[in-house]
A and B are shown apart, each in its own frame.
Chain A
Amino acid sequence: MTAPVAAADDSLYAAHQKLYPREVGGRFARLRILAVAGLLGVFYGLPWVRWDGRQAVLFDLPARKFYIFGLTFFPQDFYLLTWLLIIAALSLFFFTAVGGRLWCGYACPQTVWTEVFVWMERLTEGKWARRIKLDKGPWTAQKLLRKAAKQILWVSFAVFTGFSFVGFFVPVHELAAGVAALKLSSWEWYWILFYGFATYGNAGYLREQVCKYMCPYARFQSAMFDRNTLIISYDAQRGEPRGSRGRDAALRPPGLGDCIDCTLCVQACPTGIDIRKGLQYECIACAACIDACDEVMDKVGSPRGLVRYATQAEIDGKPTRIARPRILVYASLLCLLVVGFAFAVSHRMPLDVDVLRDRNALYRELNDGRIENVYSIRIINKDQQAHEFKLSASNLPNAVVDSDSPTQFVNAEEVKTVVARVRVPGGQEHGGRNFLISAQAVDEPRIRVTSRARFFAEP
């Protein structure tokens, strides 16, 4: 028996060998299918969900507004996104320290899409052994048919993936209508094809090479590991010395361990490593080798778990500590950040004000001697309802703010630019000074934002 089956593949990469991981079923394969179905369901389904009469999740870049269920975010809320990314990174640290590469095994887009592409490959080209034969064999009509079927499935799925991706940025109903009528703008086509092509290449061809050569997480995850992290382990104490059995696999020749050296764990590995050599950085913790080995153990009548999720401490026969300083630090930081984030989102001021000085003139002296500076003020009403806003100046004695109307009406989720003239009595100001411009909702005084500006007068 050979393992892992690798064949020189000169179709795309001169120096790379194509891996044919053997398919296995089992507890962890089922768990992954569940995770894949859930995540892809969210990805492909979310653009179609409606909320309050519009797409529930829409990142409307041309309008510079992000809709996430009932909330609307503007570029001024960018810090919230940064905050969210920090939470995501910290969660990754936390889960890696506790459970090893859980992310890789069940949630990474690379894993998730590869799983689907492999499934399509199996559907069209058959199982492991058949696929090897097919690739080695001559180009018969049957081979052509199977390969063509695979490409059709792959390409359509990839394009659909690109479509769903763009559906997060362009209202998906419009997008679907545009595709049906072949009337999309060139940049919409471009991003659909770009994302589709990336999916096709990564999940169809690159697969484990992405993990091995291109993934930053794969390189730094080991820094979060310690002896109490759950990893995929081979229990060498139980398994060694390994050795094959005779006809009746349940009959154990004396002196041998539980490993019957069938190499099924190696054949199942999508990255082509032998877990019995210990943890290697190529291992993406997909647990395929566990499923493969469990099946063998069931057959030969030994207990499962010769290859299993275990901590290094457990393998060494020592107790595993879950609550350790590293975990506690990650967990408490994570709690703080999440609570803070929830607070920041729920107490977000539904108003923002940007003040820009008029670029044409520093200051102007009016006929009556007063000094005037001109500003253009952007009032960003992030609230779900319209408001009247009143502008005022402070930290600048006797200042009067004048614009086209005493209050400014701004519709829900709209941005309005107002030209405002700020005037002070002549002779009061010399040179420049910082002051504050505020906008306040007339109907709801709680909604009030202040922004800094600079006032100039003759020196």
Chain B
Amino acid sequence: MEAEDQPPPLEWSALREGIAVSVWTSFLAASAETMVFFAYFDPMLLGSDELPPTWLALRPVAYAAGFFFFWAFTLSAAALTAYMLRSRPHS
């Protein structure tokens, strides 16, 4: 049998690709943001103020919270971008 007779590997659906790519690219961006942000801001120094809750002054907690905070925003931007690119009605 010729190789051409094989059905090509099926593709991911647009929805799956959109979700996977959004999650992944936003993860990368959030990681970079976390690195840059915490290179300049030491969460320990926030502790002296009353405004941010004091548990944020624990570094590992603040790093994790910061990471997910950034990820939430990068993910919404990425997902919205994916959605906008796909949902434009074609004439």
Interface residues of A (CB under 8 A from B): 1-4, 6, 8, 13-17, 19, 61-62, 64, 75, 78, 81, 185, 187, 190, 209, 213-214, 216, 261, 263, 266, 272, 274
Contact = CB atoms under 8 A, between A and B. Distances in A.
Contact of A17 (B9, B25, B38): B9
Interface residues of B, number: 29
A15 B8 CA distance: 12
A16 B21 contact: no
B1 interface: yes
Contact of B10 (A15, A190, A216): A15
B10 A16 contact: yes
Contacts of A263: 2-3
B3 A75 contact: no
A187 B12 contact: no
30 contacts: A1-B1, A2-B1, A2-B5, A3-B1, A4-B3, A6-B7, A8-B10, A13-B12, A15-B12, A15-B13, A16-B10, A17-B9, A17-B10, A19-B9, A61-B60, A61-B63, A62-B59, A64-B42, A75-B38, A78-B39, A78-B40, A81-B39, A185-B60, A187-B61, A209-B12, A213-B21, A214-B20, A214-B24, A272-B9, A274-B3
A88 B78 CA distance: 26
Given A16-B12, A214-B20, 16 more contacts: A3-B3, A6-B7, A13-B12, A14-B13, A15-B10, A17-B7, A61-B59, A62-B59, A62-B60, A78-B36, A187-B60, A187-B61, A190-B64, A214-B21, A261-B2, A274-B3
Contacts of A16: 9-10, 12
Contacts of A64: 42, 59
Nearest to B41: A75
Given A3-B3, A6-B6, A213-B20, A15 B59 contact: no
Interface string B13-56: 10011001100110000000001101110100000000000000
Interface of B: 1-3, 5-13, 16-17, 20-21, 24-25, 35-36, 38-40, 42, 59-61, 63-64
Contacts of A19: 9
Interface centre among B9, B11, B16, B24 (most CB of A within 10 A): B9
Nearest to B42: A64
A263 B8 CA distance: 15
Contacts of B36: 78
